């Protein structure tokens, strides 16, 4: 009997992140309320993190709003962003680190497999690195699992791929 399966992943589109950051930096350069300020968005693609620098708390929040707006318009989920605490930086500015998560961490993978097992469907789950494979002899069971996971407001954006 053939087994059907699909993968649950949480992957970010890095090109869209780059485009959103470029748009945010352009808007930052053009906005009147940021003229003459030390506000900046630095992006380190290798480290997968961003650094926001602003003169005060108000400008830091405005900078985050610009970034979230541009990410949302480029269909990049803001659930990928993990915000650090604002901290004082040189020149009486504030700095905030934002880490861009990618993949499903082990704890979240275990939580997802627990949710799937609680459904009492005849499916098997298997954690494979940063993805989860769900297998079943019946396609209806897999579709029920996907429908339930889509209805959840999970802390990570979930994508379903390799449905076969």
Full set of structural domains in the chain with CATH = 4-11+104-161 (3.30.70.860), 14-100 (3.30.70.990)
Residue 37: its pLDDT value, please? 86
Distance CA 115, CA 112 (A): 5
Q: Where are the beta strands (DSSP E) in the chain?
A: 4-9, 40-44, 49-54, 81-83, 87-89, 93-100, 124-128, 131-136, 159-161
Is residue 127 within 8 A of residue 113, CB to CB? The reply is yes
pLDDT tens across 80-114, in order?
Answer: 999 999 898 887 889 999 999 888 888 889 999 99
End-to-end CA separation in angstroms for the chain? 14
Is residue 12 within 8 A of residue 102, CB to CB? The reply is yes
In our burial notation (b when 16+ CB lie closer than 10 A, e otherwise), range 3-28 reads ebebbbbbebeeeebebbbebbbebb
Residue 19: its pLDDT value, please? 93
Instruction: Tell whether the torsion through CA atoms of 139, 142, 148 and 150 is positive or negative.
Output: negative
Distance CA 144, CA 148 (A): 6
Mean pLDDT, residues 66-93: 90
Residue 63: its pLDDT value, please? 92
What's the predicted TM-score (pTM) here?
Answer: 0.81
pLDDT tens across 22-65, in order?
Answer: 999 999 999 898 888 888 899 888 888 999 999 888 999 999 99
């Amino acid at each position: 009997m053939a087994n059907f399966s699909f993968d649950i992943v949480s992957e970010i589109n890095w090109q869209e992140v780059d485009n959103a950051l470029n748009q945010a930096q352009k808007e930052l350069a053009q906005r009147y309320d940021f003229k003459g300020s030390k506000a900046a968005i630095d992006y380190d693609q290798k480290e997968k993190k961003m650094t926001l620098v602003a003169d005060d708390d108000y400008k830091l929040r405005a900078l985050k709003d610009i970034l979230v707006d541009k990410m949302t318009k480029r269909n990049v989920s803001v659930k990928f962003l993990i915000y650090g605490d604002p901290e004082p930086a040189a020149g009486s500015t504030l700095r905030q680190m934002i880490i861009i998560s990618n993949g499903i961490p082990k704890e979240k993978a275990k939580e997802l497999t627990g949710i799937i097992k609680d459904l009492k469907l005849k499916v098997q789950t298997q954690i494979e690195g940063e993805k989860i494979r769900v297998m079943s002899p019946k396609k209806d069971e897999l579709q029920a699992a996907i429908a339930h996971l889509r209805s959840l407001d999970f802390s990570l954006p979930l994508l379903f791929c390799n449905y076969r």
